[in-house]
């Protein structure tokens, strides 16, 4: 039965690729990327096995294997999301036991491009122990255990992010919390290792500390079995293997419980009645097209997790850079500008989030300029205050308040420029987006390689239009922020505000001209 599920899964995949050429291009690009990674890693492993010491081979195996496990958990966030064409809820109506369901899901994960590449890399890493036959022999099953931990851990996180059943609000809350924890896992781990190493060691010393600590964690235990045997420490190898097997068993058990909860408690649609006269933001905002759109947009930013997740970058980047370079480093100082770049792209295709409900927008007859301005104001009500607060906080923590006008002007200029560009692009671009309540790890049907590149194209346009304020910011960082702070702040507000106003005007005209066409393109998206 498991084999039948896998056959149907890949038959559906091949049919999809045959119907959608750009998805085929993306699939081929992913396969070529995997082959490139495989060739590069193989060459490095062979070179290290010939000239490297035991300590170097052990560090590469442990740190590389631990990074692979983290990559399987974090990867779906930063790439395209996990493939959920086959999941527990879709298999629930069929006469599968829970074990068969889990084996089918694990098989789907292990036989995709990431799974195949990970398995081959793990097995090829055994070459590191060619000079120690016993270690090489034991390294094969240990590597397979490591890959199994990767697959099961990613499936568990994906299931938890889906809310293990229940109503939509519960799934969205759990999914967002899991996403936050996963995104902070790297900085937290880096900080712990830094503290254990004294906080002032070199990169080599920190990697050495990591190679000593990770074997006693589920991340690195499986990858530390062969190095222990190569060093002649059989009991140590058994202890690490026991940790790896215990971690796999614990992950399998937790995943089993999560699947049981998901299939026993099917998703329910939450409903809420609004009391008469209680209009929320719609009763506060001005009347007319701008006010109604403003209220609807702000409501989405405050309640829709698909928008809220985009706000998670506000604390993530400063925390990450604080761990990497310290609060007195350049990256920490520039983190508000990077946050502005990310928030600026948040609305580049926001009509796609409306889905077929966009028909009601057209039915109201709202003018394009009013729609563009209302959506921009909704995003700006949160984006601008967050950027301002973040800039002030980073300046205070770094004890360098003199650069506050410089960084604030750059961040506001980039953010307002992005809002202006998004006001135009969102009236032109319709792209597949996650459905309300979907897991953040779930891949979106209809995503294509070219569609993913559009984000970077829009970013490039924002960067080019932001060159005046970026030029002043760089000049100020080189010559000193005292003389360049206020000019940068004024330029950022004036140039960014002007581009935002121009974007509303051009985007409104585009919206009026292409509104019905956008609806047809939304309806044509795969569900």
Provide the 8-state DSSP code for 429.
-
Q: Kindly state the average pLDDT of the residues 467-495.
A: 87
Q: Is the pLDDT of residue 202 over 80?
A: no
What's residue 161's pLDDT? 64
Same domain, 218 and 293: no
Q: Kindly state the average pLDDT of the residues 397-406.
A: 80
For residue range 34-51, list pLDDT tens digits in order: 788 888 888 888 888 777
Position 213 confidence tier, pLDDT thresholds 50, 70, 90? confident
Same domain, 54 and 145: yes
What's residue 276's pLDDT? 44
Domain boundary among 202, 235, 264: 264
Q: Is the pLDDT of residue 270 over 90?
A: no
Domain boundary among 237, 264, 291: 264
Same domain, 75 and 170: yes
Q: How far apart are CA 468 and CA 472, in angstroms?
A: 6
- Minimal CA–CA distance to 190: which of 212, 211, 206? 206
What's residue 80's pLDDT? 46
Same domain, 205 and 295: no
Radius of gyration for the chain, computed over Cα atoms and rounded to the nearest angstrom: 26
For residue range 223-256, list pLDDT tens digits in order: 889 888 888 888 998 999 999 999 999 999 998 8
- pTM (2 decimals)? 0.61
Cα-flanking dihedrals φ and ψ of residue 326, to 5°? 85, 165
What's residue 434's pLDDT? 67
Q: Is the pLDDT of residue 405 over 50?
A: yes
Domain boundary among 264, 296, 315: 264
Same domain, 189 and 321: no
What's residue 498's pLDDT? 94
The number of distinct structural domains making up the chain is 2
Query: Which residue did the predictor score with more confidence, 169 or 137?
Result: 137
pLDDT > 70: percent of the chain: 78
What's residue 166's pLDDT? 47
Query: Which residue did the predictor score with more confidence, 203 or 499?
Result: 499
The residues near 419 (Cβ < 8 Å, ≥ 6 apart) are 344, 347, 376, 379, 380, 383, 500, 503
Q: Indicate whether 270 belongs to any domain.
A: no
Q: Indicate whether 175 belongs to any domain.
A: yes
Query: Which residue did the predictor score with more confidence, 433 or 443?
Result: 433
Same domain, 189 and 338: no
* Partners of residue 167 on adjacent β-strands: 268
Q: Indicate whether 272 belongs to any domain.
A: no
Of these ranges, 68-77, 135-144, 398-407, the one predicted with the greatest mean pLDDT is 135-144
Q: Indicate whether 453 belongs to any domain.
A: yes
Query: Which residue did the predictor score with more confidence, 85 or 87?
Result: 87
Same domain, 311 and 387: yes
Same domain, 66 and 215: yes
Same domain, 142 and 260: yes
Measured N-to-C along each axis, helices 481-523 and 467-479 cross at an angle, to the nearest 10 degrees, of: 150
| Neighbour-count burial for 402-428, b at 16+ CB within 10 Å, e otherwise | ebbbbbbbbbbbbbbbbbbbbbbbbbe
Q: Indicate whether 274 belongs to any domain.
A: no
Least confident of 209-218, 247-256, 273-282: 273-282
Same domain, 400 and 338: yes
Same domain, 244 and 322: no
- 518 neighbors 430 (Cβ within 8 angstroms): yes
Provide the 8-state DSSP code for 329.
S
Q: Is the pLDDT of residue 267 over 90?
A: no
- Minimal CA–CA distance to 492: which of 398, 375, 387? 387
What's residue 499's pLDDT? 94
Q: Indicate whether 273 belongs to any domain.
A: no
What's residue 462's pLDDT? 92
Write out the two tokens for 104: 């089918």
Q: Indicate whether 449 belongs to any domain.
A: yes
Q: How far apart are CA 84 and CA 81, in angstroms?
A: 9
Same domain, 508 and 480: yes
Least confident of 109-118, 186-195, 409-418: 186-195
- Which range marks the domain in which residue 412 is found? 283-523
* Partners of residue 442 on adjacent β-strands: 82
Average pLDDT, the chain: 79
For residue range 434-476, list pLDDT tens digits in order: 666 555 555 565 566 566 678 888 889 999 999 999 998 888 8
């Amino acid at each position: 039965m498991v084999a039948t599920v896998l056959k149907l899964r890949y038959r559906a995949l091949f049919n999809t690729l045959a119907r959608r050429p750009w998805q085929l291009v993306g699939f081929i690009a992913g396969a070529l990327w995997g082959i490139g990674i495989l060739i590069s890693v193989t060459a490095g492993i062979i070179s290290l096995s010939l000239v490297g010491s035991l300590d170097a081979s052990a560090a590469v195996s442990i740190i590389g294997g631990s990074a692979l496990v983290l990559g399987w958990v974090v990867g779906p966030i930063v790439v395209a999301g996990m493939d959920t064409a086959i999941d527990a809820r879709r298999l629930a109506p069929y006469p599968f036991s829970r074990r068969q369901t889990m084996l089918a899901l694990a098989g789907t994960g292990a036989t995709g491009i990431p799974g195949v590449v990970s398995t081959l890399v793990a097995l090829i890493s055994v070459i590191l122990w060619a000079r120690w036959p016993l270690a090489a022999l034991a390294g094969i099953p240990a590597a397979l255990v490591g890959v199994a931990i990767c697959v099961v851990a990613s499936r568990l996180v994906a299931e938890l992010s889906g809310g293990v059943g229940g109503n939509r609000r519960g799934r969205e809350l759990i999914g967002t919390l899991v996403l936050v924890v996963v995104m902070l896992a790297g900085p937290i781990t880096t900080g712990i290792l830094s503290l254990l190493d004294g906080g002032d060691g070199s990169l080599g010393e920190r990697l050495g500390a990591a190679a000593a600590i990770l074997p006693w964690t589920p991340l690195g235990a499986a990858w530390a079995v062969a190095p222990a045997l190569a060093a002649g420490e059989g009991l140590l190898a058994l202890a690490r293997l026991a940790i790896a097997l215990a971690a796999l068993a614990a992950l399998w058990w937790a995943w089993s419980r999560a699947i049981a909860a998901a299939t026993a408690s099917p998703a329910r649609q939450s409903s809420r009645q609004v009391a008469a006269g209680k209009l929320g933001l719609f009763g506060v905002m001005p009347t007319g097209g701008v006010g109604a759109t403003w209220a609807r947009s702000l409501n989405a930013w405050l309640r829709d997790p698909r928008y809220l997740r985009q706000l998670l970058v506000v604390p993530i980047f400063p925390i990450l850079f604080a761990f990497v370079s310290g609060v007195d480093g350049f990256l920490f100082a520039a983190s508000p500008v990077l946050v502005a770049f990310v928030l600026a792209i948040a609305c580049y295709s926001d009509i796609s989030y409306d889905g077929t409900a966009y028909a009601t927008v057209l039915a109201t007859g709202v003018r394009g300029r009013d729609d563009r301005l209302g959506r921009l104001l909704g995003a700006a009500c949160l984006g601008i205050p967050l950027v301002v607060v973040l800039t002030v906080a980073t300046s205070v923590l770094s004890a360098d308040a003199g650069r506050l006008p410089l960084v604030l002007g750059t961040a506001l200029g980039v953010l307002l420029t992005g809002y202006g560009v998004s006001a135009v692009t969102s009236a032109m671009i319709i792209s597949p987006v996650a459905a309300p309540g979907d897991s953040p790890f779930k891949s979106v049907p209809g995503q294509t390689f070219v569609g993913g590149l559009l984000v970077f194209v829009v970013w490039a346009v924002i960067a080019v239009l932001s060159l005046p304020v970026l030029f002043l910011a760089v000049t100020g960082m080189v010559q000193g922020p005292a003389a360049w702070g206020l000019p940068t702040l004024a330029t950022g507000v004036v140039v960014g505000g002007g581009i935002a106003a121009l974007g509303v005007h051009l985007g409104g005209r585009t919206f009026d001209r292409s509104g019905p066409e956008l609806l047809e393109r939304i309806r044509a998206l795969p569900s």
